[in-house]
Amino acid sequence: MSEQSVNLLDFDPPGLANYFADLGEKPFRSQQLLKWIYQQDIDDFDEMTNLSKALRGKLAEQAVVRLPEVAMDHKSDDGTRKFLFRLVDGNCIETVFIPESERGTLCVSSQVGCALNCSFCSTATQGFNRNLTVGEIIGQVLLAKRLLMADGWGERPVTNVVMMGMGEPLLNFDNVISAMRLMLDDQTFGLSKRRVTLSTSGVVPEIARLKEILPVSLAVSLHAANDDLRNELVPINKKYPIKELLDACRHYVAGDSKRRRVTFEYVMLDGVNDTDADARALLKLLKRVPSKMNLIPFNPFPHTQYNCSSQERIDRFRDILHRGGIVTVTRKTRGDDIDAACGQLAGDFKDRTRRRESRISTINISPNKVIRGSAG
């Protein structure tokens, strides 16, 4: 199949229904196709037995199911799994699976690189390359699911998705929305909006649009309690300062019958943003926003100027927030032995020289090989 063929993974459910209408097919046929690909893990049109032979022939002529390729697959001591996926143009992106007792969370990338230049993030050191297509975003979920199933993780290894990998999802708005529509669709992964989280550095106008179009769970990378410091750490703050950002957050969860909260992420940087006064300033800021707080121990990467705050400091910071009435958890650092932790995703295959080779296990599932799921 040539690279010019239509990649069926690029269609969200309404888009696929339109494509089928153009082929002269009824919309429900597109739902059958989604089920084959996303639930039965069949990519070969010949095997899609409830589609007419004529339709299968048309699809074979002009369409393809194109997944990324597996460039690397690392397993961390704590069970975290980092995939390096190679895209059709040779770029690589990272996708991380974090298993917990009650759920399996997949951390998905939205861009190759990132344009935002946050000073404590290793993705920033790469610069920005391009937006991912819908198929490249949902392809991470589909391919990870298939690889995990093949590895004995059961029928539904991925129960939660966080758009917290490489890139700023709100700066690839349309493609991220379409990919999230696919995550939520009953014919595909059937995740609830609560189980899909979008993390943003604070692209204020797009937060309002997200609420209108697809109000999934929102996480916001705050990292500082005043504009001077936030301008330094998260430079997009110069465009959308803290007050505007928090107004957008308050609006995002306003009127929500399920009393949802915004999750704020706060990276703990030794001597930079981790004093008692910072914690108290945060309490003041967040008074009017229904919030949860995730403290993230800083994960180092080569040539960074920062260090992680001490455990005592993090605990004290957490206690101050907690006493002030904000549910605060310190995120466990997962997968740091394989650079799969927050802010360590770089995706540049050629630079990965400092890995411990013994941990690397590249698996041999070609993207086109069909792995059968359950019938149904």
The active-site residue out of 114, 118, 308, 342 is: 342
> The dihedral of CA 307, 311, 313, 315: what is its sign?
positive
For the chain, the distance separating the N- and C-terminal CA atoms, rounded to the nearest angstrom, is: 28
Name every residue whose Cβ is closer than 8 Å to that of residue 138 and which is 6 or more positions away in sequence. Answer: 9, 179, 182, 183, 188
Our CB check for ligand SAH shows the closer of 51 and 96 to be 96
| C-alpha–C-alpha distance, residues 208 and 68, integer Å | 32
| Backbone angles phi and psi of 115, in degrees to 5 | -95, -5
From 7-15, 117-125, 237-245, 366-374, give the range in contact with ligand SAH by CB under 6 A. 117-125
Choose between 43 and 265: whose C-beta lies nearer to ligand SAH. Answer: 265
Give the residue among 266, 267, 234 at the shortest CA–CA distance from 119. Answer: 234
Q: Does 262 sit near ligand SAH (CB under 6 A)?
A: no
Per-residue contact string for residues 218-257; x = within reach of ligand SAH by CB under 6 A: ---x------------------------------------
Interface residue with ligand SAH among 99, 135, 343, 347 (CB under 6 A) is 343
Site for ligand SAH, residues 267 to 286, rule: CB under 6 A: 267
d(CA 26, CA 47): 20
Smallest separation, CB 315 to ligand SAH (Å): 17
What mask of x and - would describe binding to ligand SAH in positions 139 to 178, judged by CB under 6 A? -------------------------x---x----------
Cβ 226 vs Cβ 242: under 8 Å: yes
Which residue in 120, 173, 189, 264 binds ligand SAH (CB under 6 A)?
Answer: 120
Token pair for 349 = 């295959």
Q: Rounded to whole angstroms, how far apart are CA atoms 69 and 144?
A: 11
Helical H segments across 276-353, by residue range: 276-286, 311-323
Positions 179 through 208 that interact with ligand SAH (CB under 6 A): 199-201
Beta carbon nearer to ligand SAH, 201 or 237: 201
94 counts as catalytic:
yes
Told to check if 299 binds ligand SAH by CB under 6 A, we report: yes
> Is the sign of the CA dihedral 203, 242, 285, 166 positive or negative?
positive
d(CA 238, CA 314): 27
CB of 268 to ligand SAH, least distance (A): 8
Residues contacting residue 205 through CB under 8 Å, at least 6 positions apart: none
Which of 25, 92, 94, 107 is an active site residue? 94
> The tokens of 187 are what?
């014919």
Residue 208 CB, nearest approach to ligand SAH (Å): 17
Query: For residues 300 and 373, which CB has a smaller minimum distance to ligand SAH in the complex?
Result: 300
Q: Which residue is nearest to ligand SAH (CB)?
A: 343
Q: For 226, list phi and psi in degrees, rounded to 5.
A: -140, 160
Q: What does the DSSP 8-state code read for residue 296?
A: E
Candidate residues 106, 158, 342, 346; the one interacting with ligand SAH per rule CB under 6 A? 342
Q: Is 105 a binder of ligand SAH (CB under 6 A)?
A: no
Active-site residue numbers? 94, 342
Rule CB under 6 A: which residues touch ligand SAH? Answer: 118, 120-121, 164, 168, 199-201, 221, 265, 267, 296, 298-299, 342-343
